[in-house]
């Protein structure tokens, strides 16, 4: 099109001025190759090192195992100490049961515990997903609109500083004993880190990239999709990791206040009956929910932003 005719014009001019000696087409090895590195030389002698080799599955497994053995060792030592203290009854068993007792409770009451775990898991996951979606939308609104920034930020902050535990009873009054108040609580508690990290991420876009996008004639949606959103992902994923662990807290607190099922409910029950093994089993399950969800978000992060500096060292699923 326009470009082509321009090209021709330019070539013509260049050729004329160089008294037709040099055609425009670059031929490696031709006289004018001295004035630049001809393509072939560049390919043969790249100025920087070759790309690092792609990690194979085997290497990944080794990295994974390597990142796991240290925390595993610490956990083993902890369990040994626990078992030692409890078995020797330095502390009475109704306060600190032995790992064996906890294991027995866990296995004999497994079907019950599994049901309650699923309830809490459901509340947590739904709360987290809603918080992530709402948080992201709010973050986009705040990052894109100065007016919405001024209007929403104080409210978001206000929602964050209200002690969630204090409004839990109110939620129960409003929404009854069902799942709703627990999910709302999980959303409320997990929402804030998503908004903060999302805003930070969206605002961290290099202004030159935005200038560039403008000269590319791209609309706001394309700029968001191709530049701003992927650029915000590392921040956002950090916020989501915090949020997912907080969502568990929200769900459990909701269950404390008024529930007929869920791990929080079981915890109160066990506490009231001085049933230490059940209480411990319950605690372990709650932590398991948090850990599993956290690891899932980490895996999502590894898949979404393998390019980011924080992930280049290798897939570490732990904080080693």
* Binding-site ranges for other proteins (CB under 8 A): 1-14, 17-18, 21-22, 24-26, 32, 34-39, 41-43, 46-48, 51-52, 206, 208-209, 211-218, 222-223, 226-227, 230-231, 305, 307-309, 312
Least distance to other proteins, CB of residue 40, Å = 8
290 and 297 Cβ atoms separated by less than 8 Å: no
Q: Which is nearer to other proteins, 29 or 47 (CB)?
A: 47
Q: Which is nearer to other proteins, 134 or 209 (CB)?
A: 209
Q: What is the DSSP letter of 51?
A: P
Least distance to other proteins, CB of residue 138, Å = 24
Q: What's the rounded Cα separation, in Å, for the pair 207 and 217?
A: 16
Least distance to other proteins, CB of residue 4, Å = 6
Q: Which is nearer to other proteins, 81 or 212 (CB)?
A: 212
CA of 220: how far to CAs of 48, 204, 224, 231, in Å? 36, 16, 6, 15
Least distance to other proteins, CB of residue 50, Å = 9
Q: Which is nearer to other proteins, 26 or 176 (CB)?
A: 26
Q: What's the rounded Cα separation, in Å, for the pair 21 and 184?
A: 77
Least distance to other proteins, CB of residue 12, Å = 8
Least distance to other proteins, CB of residue 219, Å = 9
Least distance to other proteins, CB of residue 225, Å = 9
Q: Which is nearer to other proteins, 54 or 146 (CB)?
A: 54
Closest by CA position to 99, among listed 114, 113, 87, 110: 87
Q: Which is nearer to other proteins, 112 or 211 (CB)?
A: 211
CA of 256: how far to CAs of 41, 115, 168, 283, 292, in Å? 71, 17, 9, 14, 22
Angle of helix 57-87 relative to helix 99-108, nearest 10 degrees, comes to 110
* DSSP reduced 3-state for 308: coil
Q: What's the rounded Cα separation, in Å, for the pair 162 and 45?
A: 62
Structure tokens of 128?
């987290």
190 and 243 Cβ atoms separated by less than 8 Å: yes
Q: Which is nearer to other proteins, 214 or 292 (CB)?
A: 214
Q: What's the rounded Cα separation, in Å, for the pair 238 and 254?
A: 25
């Amino acid at each position: 099109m326009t470009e082509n005719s321009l090209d021709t014009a330019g070539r013509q001019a260049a050729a004329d001025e160089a008294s037709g000696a040099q055609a425009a087409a670059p031929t490696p090895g031709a006289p004018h190759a001295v004035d630049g590195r001809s393509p072939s030389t560049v390919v043969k002698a790249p100025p920087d090192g070759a790309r690092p080799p792609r990690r194979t599955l085997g290497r990944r497994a080794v990295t994974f195992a390597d990142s796991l053995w240290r925390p595993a060792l610490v956990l083993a030592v902890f369990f040994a100490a626990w078992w030692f203290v409890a078995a020797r009854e330095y502390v009475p068993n109704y306060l600190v049961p032995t790992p064996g007792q906890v294991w027995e409770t866990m296995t004999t009451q497994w079907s019950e515990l599994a049901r309650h775990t699923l309830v809490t898991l459901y509340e947590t996951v739904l709360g987290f997903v809603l918080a992530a979606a709402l948080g992201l939308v709010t973050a986009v609104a705040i990052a894109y609109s100065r007016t919405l920034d001024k209007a929403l930020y104080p409210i978001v902050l206000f929602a964050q500083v209200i002690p969630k535990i204090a409004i839990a009873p109110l939620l129960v009054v409003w929404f009854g004993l069902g799942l709703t108040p627990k999910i709302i609580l999980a959303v409320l508690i997990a929402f804030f880190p998503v908004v903060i990290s999302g805003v930070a991420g969206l605002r961290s876009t290099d202004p030159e990239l935005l200038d560039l996008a403008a000269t590319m004639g791209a609309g706001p949606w394309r700029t968001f999709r191709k530049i701003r959103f992927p650029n915000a992902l590392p921040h956002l994923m950090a916020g989501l990791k915090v949020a997912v662990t907080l969502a568990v807290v929200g769900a459990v607190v909701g269950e404390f206040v008024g529930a007929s099922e869920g791990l929080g409910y079981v915890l109160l029950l066990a506490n009231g009956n001085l049933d230490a093994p059940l209480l411990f089993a319950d605690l372990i399950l709650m932590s398991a929910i948090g850990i599993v969800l956290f690891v899932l978000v980490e895996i999502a992060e590894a898949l979404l932003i393998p390019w980011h500096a924080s992930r280049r060292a290798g897939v570490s699923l732990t904080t080693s």
